[in-house]
């Protein structure tokens, strides 16, 4: 166990994804000085990947003319489950073979710099709080909204990790008992209704099952709506080059922006489900701000406006007026800053103690 | 603003309810030395009620031979909404006319002892954590389950109040979109399905609408079940002296204990709804322990066993194994200890700072 060097002027961040590794060196304010990227090549297994990460640390430090003795600590953002106290990683779905890997210990042994391992959703929450849309707030709910829905909670001005580093699984609030099957095994989770793939699936279902006159119409249904003759219910299919299975959440948003009725219905349903989930979070956590990434960043007010409107029915006026619902502020920089935020937070905790 | 006397050996607690006022004096370990009760007579308005409370403080201190200069502080448990920083109370439903009442200031001016005002659910959460079933745990969800469903959260070893002292409204997690109307105005809240009145309402609905052969049967339905001849589906009505409207949650539990099929179905549904709500809390907060009061204390394993069973489908195995679901430990003493816990917690924060 290596101690944080609280006088170190630089921070290093490592982002371990299923397809790519990233290393960055930053100053203590979060300004990124240098970065490096490599493919993860996950099949290599954890030993070789951690060796790559250590090489990348030396590489970015060299590029920035930073000596490793000037580095306060290393922050690591990695898929969970993992144990932040021991820095051991337990079988993240995107890292096959990482079963009980002492990531913190391996990095510290190799580099002689204190390392702090955090799950990626918590690390992103820290980044948005320290450097992004959550700066200056005390009670922050951060929600990713892309392939899955995850999250992280800043409560009373610090990261709340829960009992086994598993708090903030906001994607697994149950919205609809016996609703669609979720990747987690449950049914009707927020993630099973509002993740990118779930939004696309609901759109496909509407097109193939319920839109009268659709090219994907259920046999026997009548083309009884005026807009059917124009082919507009199939705008999403057209945008997906004629392949209903190629429709994504982005297709839905694009079609909705052009006024497509089916896409607008999917957007409206998405907003209703999101408002139900956010309402539960607001009633339980009474946050000042809810920051939502990826899909909300791209969709903007197309989704945020109806979410805010439906939310009025999901909580009390006093709590509604207390909370802002905003898109994430860091965009594509969130991955790099997430790892930096992990060590910055560890450092502040260290200084305060 | 009067300062806490951190050297004071005694604590005073005030519990302000809609029908009754209570004052207790305790030592710092929470041992109650004397107590007093008076009717609230809420129509008198706040000024006279606070005067009564001050008289009660002097009365219990006198009975315990405690001088007011030996009292560290006063804890107050009161219906919310209220602001814990200023100690101002804003229109609790059970205290008509308490609109912006500076309760903390009035008590401090009159008694010259520091006073701390907390909403009753948070105060009870503190009591169960400091003196009851939650002792020694770091992440505690407390849930009342009686006329309404409220709660309080102890996270990372301290009370989490939220941004405007409104966190922990666990009764207003939405379980069923467009479900039964809740007192809060929303639909399908946990409270609208699992509070005492909601359990009783679901039982009455089952009896009057769906039980074949019931005396309250929908016309045209057939008495086609073997147990109908014995009158067993109406056991709840019998237990309520023949008045279907007199059925309470307790009637349901009593009938279920005797094996009544309809009551068992209500219990099973209640467990299913509770598990859905608790599952959401577990996935978001990853607590070590969930403590549930009143109905769960009375029903015990009749409700807790199926809740625990359904819960396995509502969260991950790792989180399920991390959390205990237990009945509250303080019973009827919770009200007195809640007020004492408020000042004890303020005192510990004071000492630590």
- Per-residue pLDDT reduced to its tens digit, B246-277: 999 999 999 999 999 999 999 999 999 999 99
Query: Which of A165, A284, A288, A290 to mutate against chain B (most B CBs within 10 Å)?
Result: A284
Whether residue B222 is predicted with pLDDT greater than 90 in this model: the reply is no
Give me the residues of A, 37-56, that contact B with CB < 8 A.
none
> A10-119+331-352 and A170-327: same fold?
yes
B210 — pLDDT class (breaks 50, 70, 90): low
pLDDT digits (tens, 9 = 90+) for A284-311: 999 999 999 999 999 999 999 999 999 9
Residue B323, class by beta-carbon neighbours within 10 Å (0-12 exposed, 13-18 middle, 19+ buried)? buried
Q: Residue B233 has what pLDDT?
A: 56
To the nearest whole number, what is the mean pLDDT of chain A? 92
Query: Which of A194, A272, A280, A289 to mutate against chain B (most B CBs within 10 Å)?
Result: A280
CB B249 within 8 A of CB B201: no
Of B81, B166, B313, the CB nearest to A186: B313
Task: Give the residue with greater pLDDT, B216 vs B300.
Answer: B300
Query: Which of B89, B137, B160, B162 to mutate against chain A (most A CBs within 10 Å)?
Result: B162
Q: Is B93 on the interface with A (CB under 8 A)?
A: no
Contact B175 A173 (CB under 8 A): no
Q: Give mean pLDDT, residues B45-63.
A: 97
To the nearest whole number, what is the mean pLDDT of chain B? 92
Contact B313 A168 (CB under 8 A): no
CB A56 within 8 A of CB A38: yes
Peptide bond into B81 cis (omega under 30): yes
Of B168, B175, B285, the CB nearest to A162: B285
DSSP state of B113: S
Q: Cβ contacts of residue B85 below 8 Å, gap of 6+?
A: none
Contact A161 B286 (CB under 8 A): yes
Q: Which of A120-124, A224-228, B110-114, B143-147 has the lowest mean pLDDT?
A: A224-228
Whether residue B220 is predicted with pLDDT greater than 50 in this model: the reply is no
* DSSP result, A192-241: HHHSHHHHHHHHHHIIIII-TT-TTPPTT----SGGGGGTGGGHHHHHTT
Peptide bond into A81 cis (omega under 30): yes
Residue B39, class by beta-carbon neighbours within 10 Å (0-12 exposed, 13-18 middle, 19+ buried)? exposed
Q: Give mean pLDDT, residues A21-38.
A: 96
Q: Give mean pLDDT, residues B197-205.
A: 96
Chain B CB contacts of A138 under 8 Å are: 163
B215 — pLDDT class (breaks 50, 70, 90): very low
Q: Give mean pLDDT, residues B83-112.
A: 95
Six token digits for residue B244: 């279907």
Chain A CB contacts of B153 under 8 Å are: 284
A99 pairs with which residues across the strands? A90
Please provide the CATH number assigned to the domain covering A10-119+331-352: 3.30.420.40
Whether residue A214 is predicted with pLDDT greater than 60 in this model: the reply is no
Q: Residue A210 has what pLDDT?
A: 56
Q: Residue A351 has what pLDDT?
A: 56
Q: Can you say whether the dihedral through the CA atoms of A77, A83, A85, A87 is positive or negative?
A: negative
pLDDT digits (tens, 9 = 90+) for B301-340: 999 999 999 999 999 999 999 999 999 999 888 999 999 9
Six token digits for residue A54: 């250590």
Nearest-5° angle of CA A195, CA A164, CA A174? 35
Contact A286 B161 (CB under 8 A): yes
CB pairs under 8 A between A and B: 126
B10-132+331-352 fold: Nucleotidyltransferase; domain 5 (3.30.420)
What ipTM does this complex have?
A: 0.92
A12 pairs with which residues across the strands? A25, A74
pLDDT digits (tens, 9 = 90+) for A76-117: 999 999 999 999 999 998 899 999 999 999 999 999 999 999
Contact A164 B286 (CB under 8 A): yes
Q: What is the C-alpha to C-alpha distance for residues A100 and A90, in angstroms, rounded to an integer?
A: 5
Residue A224, CA atoms < 13 Å, CB-side half-sphere: 4
Q: Give mean pLDDT, residues A44-53.
A: 96
Task: Give the residue with greater pLDDT, B184 vs B234.
Answer: B184
Q: What is the C-alpha to C-alpha distance for residues A86 and A104, in angstroms, rounded to an integer?
A: 7
Q: Which residues of B116-132 are buried (b: 16+ CB within 10 A; e: fewer)?
A: bbbbbbbbbbbbbbbbb
Residue B112, CA atoms < 13 Å, CB-side half-sphere: 4
Whether residue A137 is predicted with pLDDT greater than 50 in this model: the reply is yes
CATH class, A170-327 region: alpha beta
Task: Give the residue with greater pLDDT, B224 vs A164.
Answer: A164
Q: Can you say whether the dihedral through the CA atoms of A220, A224, A229, A235 is positive or negative?
A: negative
Q: Residue A90 has what pLDDT?
A: 95
Contact A173 B280 (CB under 8 A): yes
Query: Which of B151, B154, B163 to mutate against chain A (most A CBs within 10 Å)?
Result: B163
CB B252 within 8 A of CB B205: no
Contact A170 B318 (CB under 8 A): no
CA distances from B213 to B200, B223, B252, B266, B318 (A): 20, 4, 19, 18, 46
Query: Residues in chain B, how many?
Result: 353
Whether residue B140 is predicted with pLDDT greater than 90 in this model: the reply is yes
pLDDT digits (tens, 9 = 90+) for A168-200: 999 999 999 999 999 999 999 999 999 999 999
A31 pairs with which residues across the strands? none
pLDDT digits (tens, 9 = 90+) for B297-311: 999 999 999 999 999
Per-domain residue ranges of chain B: 10-132+331-352, 170-327
Q: Residue A298 has what pLDDT?
A: 94
Distance linking the first and last C-alpha atoms of chain A: 18
Q: Is B268 on the interface with A (CB under 8 A)?
A: no
Q: What is the C-alpha to C-alpha distance for residues A50 and A88, in angstroms, rounded to an integer?
A: 13
Whether residue A217 is predicted with pLDDT greater than 80 in this model: the reply is no
Q: Is B324 on the interface with A (CB under 8 A)?
A: no
Chain B CB contacts of A163 under 8 Å are: 138-139, 286-288, 322-323
Q: Residue A230 has what pLDDT?
A: 42
- Nearest-Å Rg of the Cα atoms of chain A is 22
Whether residue A7 is predicted with pLDDT greater than 90 in this model: the reply is no
B7 — pLDDT class (breaks 50, 70, 90): confident
Task: Please state the pTM of the whole predicted model.
Answer: 0.92
Q: Give mean pLDDT, residues A153-163.
A: 97
Whether residue A236 is predicted with pLDDT greater than 70 in this model: the reply is yes
């Amino acid at each position: 166990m290596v101690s944080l060097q609280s006088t170190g002027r630089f921070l290093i961040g490592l982002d371990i994804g299923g397809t790519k590794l990233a290393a960055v060196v930053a100053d203590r304010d979060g300004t990124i000085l240098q970065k490096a990227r490599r493919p993860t090549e996950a099949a290599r297994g954890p030993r070789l990947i951690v060796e790559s990460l250590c090489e990348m640390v030396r590489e970015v430090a060299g590029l920035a003319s930073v000596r490793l003795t000037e580095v306060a600590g290393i922050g690591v953002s990695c898929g969970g489950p993992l144990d932040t106290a021991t820095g051991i990683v337990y079988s993240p779905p995107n890292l096959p073979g990482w079963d009980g890997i002492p990531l913190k210990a391996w990095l510290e042994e190799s580099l002689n710099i204190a390392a702090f391992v955090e799950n990626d959703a918590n690390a992103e929450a820290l980044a948005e709080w320290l450097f992004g849309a959550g700066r200056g707030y005390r009670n922050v709910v951060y929600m990713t909204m892309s392939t899955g829905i995850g999250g992280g909670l800043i409560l009373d001005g610090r990261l709340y990790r829960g009992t086994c580093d598993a708090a903030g699984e906001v994607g697994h609030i149950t919205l609809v008992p016996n609703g669609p099957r979720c990747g987690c095994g449950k049914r009707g989770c927020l993630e099973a209704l509002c993740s990118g793939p779930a939004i696309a699936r609901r759109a496909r279902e509407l097109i193939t099952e319920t839109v009268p006159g659709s090219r994907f119409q259920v046999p026997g249904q009548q083309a009884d709506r005026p807009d059917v003759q124009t082919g507009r219910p199939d705008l999403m299919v057209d945008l997906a080059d004629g392949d209903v299975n190629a429709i994504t959440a982005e297709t839905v948003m694009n079609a909705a922006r052009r006024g497509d009725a089916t896409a607008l219905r999917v957007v409206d349903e998405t907003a209703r489900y999101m408002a139900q989930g956010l309402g539960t979070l607001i009633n339980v956590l009474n946050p000042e701000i809810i920051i939502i990434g990826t899909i909300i960043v791209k969709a903007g007010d197309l989704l945020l406006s109806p979410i805010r409107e439906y939310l009025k029915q999901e909580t009390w006026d006093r709590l509604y007026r207390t909370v802002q619902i905003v898109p994430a502020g860091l965009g594509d920089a969130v991955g790099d800053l997430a790892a930096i935020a992990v060590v910055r937070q560890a450092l502040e905790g260290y200084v305060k103690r």
